[in-house]
Amino acid sequence: MSKPELKTLVTEYVHGKIEKHNEIKQDLISQILSSDSHSIFDETERVSYTDLNYRDQARPWLPLFFDNIKPYMNDFVKLFMHDNWAIHHTWYFRYLKGEYSQWHVHPDCSWTNVYFLQLPDKKSRTTLLNASSGEEVIIADVEEGDIISFPSTVIHCSKPNMFDEDKIVIAFNSDIYDTKVHKTYPVETYKRTTIKDFNTEERKAAKQREERNRDNVE
Ligand SMILES: [Fe+2]
């Protein structure tokens, strides 16, 4: 093997909802519309209003967003048997008719997250790219108020908004840490093809073996 090859493992993504989306949508949009913004018209993006360049700064709409993203993030880390999470950067994109983001990835983080604050039509959903097959993947049941999270190495884009209504998304980068996976699945699981088969009895036996081994070493 002279050059590295792309192999396929399992790639998980998470699909959830902002519980109070209907209650906060208008306030959040109003705050975003009155925030400082800039445009991007280059080979990567065509978007009239965003605060991407201010993503390291405090902005008026962030507190309302953070209050409502916390429950999702707390549930999110549990899915991966972790205890804590961090959000590094947060920004909005407001796509007018015809505007889009080209294929890209998010560097310097583990997860890319997209909250669909205003989605004029399902055809405007974020599109992912399967790098192994070259096929586009559209998460079929995404609707306004939903949030999707996927590994930051997954290439994705926002296809042109074909509608008169603006498409508004809030994107953010995140990491998870403080894993507790070793407490649920001791290292003996390496022998198995799937950790889902690892039942309670086997876990108990593995724990006892671990304790015996530790006692022998001490
Ligand atoms: Fe993105």
Helix (H, G, I), strand (E, B) or coil at 85: strand
**CA 128–ligand 1 middle distance (angstroms):** 10
Pair of tokens at residue 202: 């086997």
CB 171 within 8 A of CB 158: no
Q: What is the CATH number of domain 14-179?
A: 2.60.120.620
Q: What is the pLDDT of residues 158-183, one digit of tens each?
A: 999 999 999 999 999 999 998 888 77
Q: Pick the more confident residue, 40 or 195.
A: 40
**What type of residue sits at position 21?**
H
Give CA–CA dist 32/49, Å, rounded. Answer: 10
166 secondary structure, DSSP code:
P
**CA 104–ligand 1 middle distance (angstroms):** 6
Helix (H, G, I), strand (E, B) or coil at 107: coil
Pair of tokens at residue 136: 């586009």
**CA 24–ligand 1 middle distance (angstroms):** 23
Residue length of the chain: 218
DSSP assignment of 171-196 equals EEEEEEEEE-HHHHS-GGGGGSS-GG
Q: What is the pLDDT of residues 23-71, one digit of tens each?
A: 999 999 999 999 999 999 999 999 999 999 999 888 999 999 999 999 9
Q: pTM surpassing 0.75? A: yes
**CA 127–ligand 1 middle distance (angstroms):** 10
Q: Domain ranges for the chain, please list them.
A: 14-179, 185-217
What does residue 93 show for φ and ψ, rounded to 5 degrees?
A: -125, 130
123 secondary structure, DSSP code:
G
CB 119 within 8 A of CB 143: yes
